[in-house]
Structure 1
Amino acid sequence: MKEKIQLKGITWGHTRGFVPMVATAQRFEELHPEVEIVWKKRTLQEFADKSVTDLAKEYDLMVIDHPWTGHAAAKGMLAAFDDFLPADFLADQRDNSVGQSYASYNFEGKQWALPTDAATPVAASRPDLLQQMGLALPRTFDDLLALAKKGRVGFSLLPIDVLMSFYGFCCSMGEAPCQYDERVVSEETGSMVLKLFKSLSDHLDTRFYTKNPFKVFEDMTQQDEIAYCPFAYGYSNYSRQGYARKLLHFHDLVSLNEQDGPMVSTLGGAGLAVSSQGKHIDVAMAYAQFVASPEIQETVYVENGGQPGHLRAWESERVNAATADYFTNTLPTLQRAYLRPRYDGHLHFQDHAGDVVVNYLKHGGSEKIVLDELNRMYRESLVEERTHG
């Protein structure tokens, strides 16, 4: 009997990251009996930290964060989808992108991953708790602050999530960060953002300095204290009946002021990439195309806990009926989400800048000193890009 073609894949260890990959692999194997696909999982932190270059030496398939795109392009460790998949398939992926998800994996004119998972920080609530308290859903930052003062608000204060929230606040104030070589954001905007952010974080329990977004949702569903999370990378799993002890509903973000539209958040999500180092790149590409196809995204993928990246799934009545309208309610948030930098050197900045903001949120101090430090780290990352890029 002929030996099977084996592909190895790596993703992150949450229901949303792991289960849909195993389910799609199982179905792909049934359709292609000569292929075997083995998926492994790692923690969310490892998912963000371990270099795609290192992973590509070990795995044929990788679920990656889009900030790795520039690094991957520079190192040549990923296979470009344009070189393997039909142009009409990629055009459909681009035209049905949820927000800038497809574009986030496009760098130097090549597509380095398919946007199989779409996410951005959205708001989450426990409708039952708000109802018990006789409170409406917060609409403005002032409403949010009032709820936080009651001890009913939680969100991730881990460095990476704090930095993403900082970016979102800047965009919501009308200034997208990292647009110039010499600074992250103007001192005027940056100072206002830091003060506003701290006014909110001061009313959060310190346990949120140790929780990533899905740990916040676990906290919200396992206990009956936190009624609202103003921004955390959305996980539609928690809006599905039976997944957690209590059901969460997800929403667009609050507005900073009555007259403004909802806040802007920082695009996340995950993409499926193929190593250029594997023996069976064509088979890995065929599987990636299968996973990203609108039919699979809307059925097998989402039914097994996935959070699809194809617009057809987000607009599907059936999918929304199973998720308390998660996708319909948060699509506007995704469509206007900010696409953060992806140049090779930016990862070092992203890994360390959040610590500076967290230190300020915890201990206060001079906003100017915080911004000066962020600017210094940012300029260093640009030099690194020019040196190694």
Structure 2
Amino acid sequence: MKAMIELKGMTWKHERGIAPLVAATKEFQKLRPDVTISWDARPLEDFEDYPIEILAQKYDIMMIDHPFVGTGVEKGVLLPLDEWLPAEYLEDQKQNSVGASHHSYTWNGKQWALAADAASQVSAYRADLLEKYGVKVPTTWEEVFALIKELPEDVKVGIPLNPTHSYCSFLALCVNLTGTDFWDYSSGINVEAGVQSLEFLKKLVPLVHERSLDWNPIYMSDHMAETNEIAYVPLMFGYSNYSINGFKPHVIHYTNIPTRFGKPMGGILGGVGLAVSPFSKFKQEAVELGAFICSREYQTGTYFESGGQPGHRTAWTDPKINGKINRFYMNTLETLDHAYLRPRIIGTNSFQEKAGPVINKLLREQGDSQEAMAQINQLFRSLTKE
């Protein structure tokens, strides 16, 4: 009797992160009954910060955040997928990328992960609450501040600003307010642009929901969908699950982020890449499973139907799929296509982990933005290298 091949995978703890992979396991096993796959899941904060070199020693397949790529390649803990997958498959992935999702896992001319899931910061709103109070969805930051004044006292604008997402919103506003040319990889972030972003956030924080500084996008989305306390969020990683009728007590609608440039620029590119460990005993089978999960056919079918947020563009432009999620994909695609790709140089993941608390503390204490920028850039220079 042929021995079973046992693969272990790691994802993040949310329906969007778990359900489509469990469903993929069942479908893949119809093609490869000799392969079993078990999935572990870790909290979002852990997913965003946990050292990839530790995961690679334990798991065959890893769902990763793209800032880990440079460090992962340097440490030799990612398998170059272009050496294992057909060129035509990777070309399809490239041509059907949502924004820079596919490119975000390309490094030194090699492909280190597949864009299984696409996301960026977008705007979220409760259409029923905005209609109730006779206000419109903002398209500029001036309109965001106007909306805050127009809403009743017990209904707020929110923005997830826990340490990791303080960092993301800080970067998003650097782009949104000053343009993309604000980062020198040898010295750090342009101080003027950084201070402008921090001061903007300091102005916003006292006006938004009081738990904003504690919450990540999942907590914010849950609260928004389960209570009537939050009517609008200008910057938050979008989860299409919440736009499905019946997923939660209230439907969340999504749209492009506010802008000052005419185009919705600066939403931080997120999403998830499917990577394979070079230490796996079953690299070929792990790559085959990854290719199956990220294929056009699976992404536009069971991956979406089981609660996933596909990384393949054909799912984002499909009218039938959009009809099931109140046009989440079509209404935010422009923001995704203009999303900002965070640095992926060596040590970026460590920098992100340590810069977030600096920004969160500044916002809590309404501290000195110049001092915070000096600390942020010192961290960048000490933790990263090209």
Structure-2-length-normalised TM-score: 0.96
Equivalence for 1:350: 352
Deviations 1:290-339 (A, max 9, x none): 11110100001011110011111111111101110000011100101111
* Aligned residue type for 2:77: M
Q: Does 1:225 align with 2:232?
A: no
Q: How does 1:1-389 map to 2 (within 5 A)?
A: 1-149=1-149, 150=151, 151-172=155-176, 173-185=178-190, 187-256=191-260, 260-382=262-384, 385=385
**Structure-2 separation of matches of 1:92 and 1:54:** 31
Q: Which moved more, 1:61-70 or 1:46-55?
A: 46-55
**Structure-2 separation of matches of 1:42 and 1:210:** 19
Please state whether the residue corresponding to 1:207 is helix, strand or coil: coil
CA drift of 1:191 comes to: 2.2
CA drift of 1:152 comes to: 1.7
**Structure-1 separation of matches of 2:174 and 2:259:** 13
Deviations 1:145-177 (A, max 9, x none): 122344520111111111111111111121444
* Aligned residue type for 2:58: E
CA drift of 1:49 comes to: 2.1
* Aligned residue type for 1:222: E
Please state whether the residue corresponding to 2:248 is helix, strand or coil: coil
CA drift of 1:204 comes to: 1.9
* Aligned residue type for 1:124: A
CA drift of 1:363 comes to: 1.6
Deviations 1:112-169 (A, max 9, x none): 1000100100001100011111111112212211223445201111111111111111
Q: Which portions of structure 1, spanning 4 or more consecutive aligned residues, are displaced by more than 3 angstroms? A: none
**Structure-2 separation of matches of 1:45 and 1:191:** 26
**Structure-2 separation of matches of 1:344 and 1:181:** 12
**Structure-1 separation of matches of 2:308 and 2:268:** 20
CA RMSD between the two structures: 1.4
Structure-1-length-normalised TM-score: 0.95
**Structure-2 separation of matches of 1:316 and 1:179:** 39
Q: Is the 8 A contact 2:265 2:338 kept in 1?
A: no
CA drift of 1:205 comes to: 2.9
* Aligned residue type for 1:157: L
Among all aligned residue pairs of Structure 1 and Structure 2, give the percentage whose two residues are the same amino acid. 40
**Structure-1 separation of matches of 2:164 and 2:201:** 15
CA drift of 1:365 comes to: 2.8
* Aligned residue type for 1:27: E
Matched length: 381
Deviations 1:56-108 (A, max 9, x none): 11111111111111111111122111110000100111111111111111111
Q: Is the 8 A contact 1:52 1:72 kept in 2?
A: yes
**Structure-2 separation of matches of 1:18 and 1:28:** 15
**Structure-2 separation of matches of 1:289 and 1:183:** 37
Deviations 1:196-246 (A, max 9, x none): 121111212331222110110101011011110111111000001111111
* Aligned residue type for 2:349: L
CA drift of 1:348 comes to: 1.6
CA drift of 1:28 comes to: 0.3
Q: Is the 8 A contact 2:156 2:209 kept in 1?
A: no
**Structure-1 separation of matches of 2:43 and 2:175:** 29
Q: Which consecutive residues of structure 2, in runs of 5 or more, have no partner in the other structure?
A: none
CA drift of 1:180 comes to: 4.0
**Structure-2 separation of matches of 1:81 and 1:243:** 35
CA drift of 1:188 comes to: 2.4
Q: Is the 8 A contact 1:213 1:233 kept in 2?
A: yes
Q: Which consecutive residues of structure 1, in runs of 5 or more, have no partner in the other structure?
A: none
**Structure-2 separation of matches of 1:108 and 1:202:** 43
* Aligned residue type for 1:247: V
Q: Is the 8 A contact 1:123 1:230 kept in 2?
A: yes
Please state whether the residue corresponding to 2:36 is helix, strand or coil: strand
**Structure-2 separation of matches of 1:301 and 1:39:** 16
